Structure 1
């Protein structure tokens, strides 16, 4: 394969990774407004989970998840500001690391909630973070092939 052929094939893959990452962050953001805890009549979305009795010991992890969601939203949108292979590779690397941190924090929050009270927000967040991880991996792999 010639170098030109590799670049032509890498760009659509990088773009597909970016779109998958964008869809993932949109799902992760949407999940924050869906109910995460449904205990009887009480429903709590992600932003109001801090008052949940199950999260009292892991309040720092909850705050990390909330901050990472907002940071990754801005970082995902920064894709359109980066130019060149090195910039896009840095974008994909940062997105992957942030998504992995968000996944770990969300998993910890998930385990702190009562098993009988899990809501739809957790499922949507898991799908979104998985798309975010897959998209950033595809974007990074395509950028590495390009260089």
Structure 2
């Protein structure tokens, strides 16, 4: 497996070198808005411990990551009055991974509404901020 590259976009966000729309943070994880959302309220949950893919994560990091994923998913379902939640996690380019720092997509879903394309267009900043505010409110943060 290739080595972890700490110049990836999520590593830079975690170090404060790039901006993000943060919705939740704890000692082990960070949840941010996806700037190319596939659904309204699309968030990403990122472990702070460096790992290239889920396959090279320490089991204890998986546990803390998915505890945050569940918390964000519950809040997203409520905040966006979603009928369901899609949770996606891609590994390696062949598996759909585009950024090589483990991350989990949390997508609020409405019945009959299809997802926008993966790595589509950057959403307007005002829309992303409004979605972040709704999700923060539901998270109590």
Q: Normalized against structure 2, the TM-score is what?
A: 0.30
Bigger helix fraction: 1
Q: Highest Rg: 1 or 2?
A: 1
Bigger strand fraction: 2
Q: Which has the higher contact order (CA 8 A, sep 6+)?
A: 1
Q: Normalized against structure 1, the TM-score is what?
A: 0.29
